[in-house]
Each structure stands twice: as structure tokens, then as C-alpha cells.
Amino acid sequence: MSPILPPVGWSRDDMARLAALDIADGSYVNLGIGIPELVAAHVPPGREVVFHTENGLLGVGPPPPAGLEDPELINAGKKPVTAVPGAAYFHHADSFAMIRGGHLDVSVLGAMQVSEKGDLANWSVGEPDAIPAVGGAMDLVAGVKTVLVLTEHTTKSGEPKLLRRCSFPLTGRGVVTRIYTNLAVVELTPEGFAALALAPGLSLKEVRRWTDAPLSDARPKRVRMCT
């Protein structure tokens, strides 16, 4: 029997576009591997955002045309990228001084689970046989003040990822600022999850059904009347 799954809602590009809208002009931003990488293509016209990759480049540009890849010019996901005019290369200690020293404005990450306290789990499912690999995620959430999470609202089999408590090993405690899923934009408040926007056609009741923690309504009034 196939699992019961939530509505499709927003596409990954929609999610990336919504996150990009919340990133201010002039920001220095680190994009995690996966869905977060899509944010770079959705910076609104008129804004300049400088992308950082922890393997030593500030000013990450789009992927190079086929055939022009340089194995010495890659991003944290080890994919070929380009460097924009005005970019800078640096070594790993400088790169993480940018992260841990509070110099970056925004970190965009994927998630396996987020708790209503803002705890993030995105590096290990904690199985004894798994190969643990953490990379730079713990440094990013500890050092960057604004942490945006881009993730599907549930797992592939329909299990909620927004929870009262994370069951997987944590990346950081109380670190998430805002979550962009295919179903909703959710703010972390001292009281827990609060919906800022819902995907078209969805009701709060429906999104709550796929959220394993209380979800309050923080939508602007004008929007609320329309749905």
C-alpha cells in the first residue's frame, strides 16, 4: 500500500524564491547542499547578494558551461562553479572565521527534522551502521545568526519533519530562524511554530495535519481573508 502523502504545494523553486525574497540587499550568504543551492538563481532584481562556500570562495557564481568545468573551482557539494568578478579565495581557517566569527548574514540549510524550539537535525539519522559525516553544518548554525531552512514538509513517506522534539542527533539547539517547506513558510517564535504563509489552496488545518507540533497562525490579516 502506498503511504498517504501531503499535497504537493510549492515546488522547490517556489521555496527557493520565497527564501530569496527574505534575504536583504548586500547580504553575505552561505548556501547548503541540495535545495538551498536553488536560492542563488532567485535573487530578486536590484539586490546584490554575495554567496560564500566554506571550501574557500566568497563570490560564488553560476555553474560553468559544459566543458569549462575546473576541478579546482568547486562548491561545498564538490560541484563545479564559477567565481564572479570581485570574488575572493581564502583558506579554510579564514573561511570558518567568516562563519564562526559572525561575519556571514544568512545560512540556508536543508533539514531532516526541526523542533518547535528551533533545534535542527540535518547530519545523521543516528543509525549505528551509518557513516557519520557532519561537514560544516554545526559551525554554520553556531556562527550565523539567521538560519533559514529549506525542506519538504514531510519525508518521502509522509512523516512530519516539523516536530515537538527531534529524534535524530542534533546539529544545533535553538538555531533555526525560519522554515520554507512545500506547504508553508513557518517562523520559529518563543511559543513555537507560526505559519507566515501557506502554499496556494491549502488551509491551516491541512498544514497542521502534516506538522507534528502546534502551529499558530501568523499570516498577515489581508492574506488570511483571502484563504
Partner 1 sequence: MIDKRVESCAAAVADISHGATVMIGGFGEAGSPVELIHALIDRGARDLTIVSNNTGSGRVGLAALIAAGRVAKMICSYPRSANSTVFPELFRSRRIALELVPQGTLAERIRAGGAGIPAFYTPSAVGTILADGKESRVFDGREYIMECSIRADFALVRADRADRYGNLTYSKTARNFGPIMCTAADCSIVQVRTLSEPGEIDAEWVVTPGIFVQRVVHVANPQQESRLVREGVAYP
Contacts to partner 1 by CB under 8 A: 53-57, 70-74, 78, 83, 89-93, 95-96, 99-100, 119, 129, 131-139, 142-143, 169-173
152 is catalytic: no
Nearer to partner 1, 50 or 218 (CB): 50
- Residue 61 in 3-state DSSP? strand
- Tell me the C-alpha to C-alpha distance, in Å, between residue 72 and each of 68, 79, 195: 12, 10, 42
Shortest spacing between CB 153 and partner 1, in angstroms: 24
Q: Which is nearer to partner 1, 135 or 160 (CB)?
A: 135
Of the residues 37, 48, 54, 152, only one is catalytic, namely 54
Compare residues 72 and 190 and give the one whose CB is closer to partner 1.
Answer: 72
> Is the Cα dihedral 73, 78, 82, 83 positive or negative?
negative
Minimum distance between the CB of residue 127 and partner 1, rounded to whole angstroms?
Answer: 11
What is each CA distance from 117 to 29, 79, 105, 169, in whole angstroms? 23, 33, 21, 15
Cα separation, 199 vs 11, in Å, equals 10
CB of 77 to partner 1, least distance (A): 9
Q: Which residues have a catalytic role annotated?
A: 54
